[in-house]
């Protein structure tokens, strides 16, 4: 069970990386749009500088395989060769995935809304497969059933692909994705932060402190001598 951040915001990444144990950061063109018209490569390099050797996932734009491969080469040349290239799981995307793997470039199969897309991406050798949980639920499709099926196939085939569950609007979806077999989930830091604001958690902490103070006064535990 591993977490990634689904954001390109440098301040958020820097702040929340100190709190949450993440193994990577995912972007897409919409996530990058939220940062304004920043330099594409300079921004991605700044992200890399912050996250070090955690994985960085960057998406291509074009619809045809040859152009996707060209864009992927531009990304790895412009940022570094460790970037995982997010390729939409279309027919053209599947072709591009095979070519990129043959070139030794890491692939994250994205825009996965169905089991067959996931199965094909696994067969094409993708390193990560990203089912879109909230978007699937909006379409009355069951992302958890799809994740369980993909995990079953990964184990059956002894594939090294990892399920990178994505597109979350609440933390319950994230938990269910893990319980269904996702290896990793990419989550907006703000969503994680909001779940830790639960009043009951902070009331418990305050109540314990009040009981301490009732006995010893406002004395730090670290300053006790007996
Ligand atoms: C991963 O980076 C996906 O593109 C992302 O989680 C999609 O999220 P959305 O459905 O909120 O756009």
Low-confidence ranges of the chain (pLDDT < 70): none
Asked if 79 and 106 count as a contact pair (C-beta separation under 8 A), the reply is: no
Which of 38-42's residues contact partners 24+ apart within 8 Å by CB, and which partners? 40/78, 41/78, 41/79
Whether 86 is catalytic is: yes
pLDDT, tens digit (0-9, with 9 covering 90-100), for 107-157: 999 999 999 999 999 999 999 999 999 999 999 999 999 999 999 999 999
What pTM was estimated for this model as a whole? 0.96
- pLDDT of the residue at 226: 87
Of 2, 86, 203, 209, the active-site residue reads: 86
How many other β-carbons are positioned within 10 Å of the β-carbon of residue 134?
14
In short, whether 6's Cβ falls inside 6 Å of ligand 1 is: yes
In short, whether 134's Cβ falls inside 6 Å of ligand 1 is: yes
Asked if 108 and 128 count as a contact pair (C-beta separation under 8 A), the reply is: yes
- Counting atoms of ligand 1 from 1, which one is nearest the CA of 30? 12
- Beta bridge partners of residue 57, listed in sequence order: 26, 84
> What sign has the CA pseudo-torsion 86, 114, 128, 43?
positive
In short, whether 110's Cβ falls inside 6 Å of ligand 1 is: yes
10: DSSP letter: H
Ligand 1 pocket, mutate which of 8, 89, 132 (most atoms under 8 A from CB): 132
**Cα–Cα distance measured from residue 41 to residue 215, given in angstroms and rounded to the nearest whole number:** 58
Asked if 109 and 130 count as a contact pair (C-beta separation under 8 A), the reply is: yes
């Amino acid at each position: 069970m591993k977490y990634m951040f689904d954001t390109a915001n440098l301040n958020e990444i820097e702040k929340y990386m100190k709190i949450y144990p993440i193994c990577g950061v995912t972007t897409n063109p919409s996530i990058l749009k939220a940062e304004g018209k920043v330099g594409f490569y300079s921004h991605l390099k700044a992200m890399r500088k912050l996250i070090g050797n955690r994985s960085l996932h960057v998406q291509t734009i074009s619809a045809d395989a040859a152009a996707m491969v060209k864009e992927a080469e531009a990304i790895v040349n412009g940022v570094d060769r460790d970037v995982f290239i997010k390729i939409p799981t279309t027919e053209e995307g599947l072709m591009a995935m095979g070519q990129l793997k043959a070139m030794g470039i890491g692939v994250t199969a994205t825009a996965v809304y169905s089991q067959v897309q996931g199965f094909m991406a696994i067969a094409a050798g993708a390193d990560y497969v990203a089912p879109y949980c909230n978007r699937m639920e909006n379409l009355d499709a069951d992302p958890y059933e799809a994740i369980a099926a993909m995990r079953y196939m990964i184990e059956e085939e002894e594939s090294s692909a990892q399920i990178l569950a994505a597109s979350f609007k609440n933390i319950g979806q994230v938990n269910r994705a893990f319980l269904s077999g996702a290896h990793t989930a990419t989550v907006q830091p703000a969503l994680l932060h909001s779940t830790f604001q639960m009043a009951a958690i902070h009331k418990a902490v305050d109540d314990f402190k009040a009981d301490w103070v009732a006995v010893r006064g406002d004395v730090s535990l670290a300053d006790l001598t007996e």
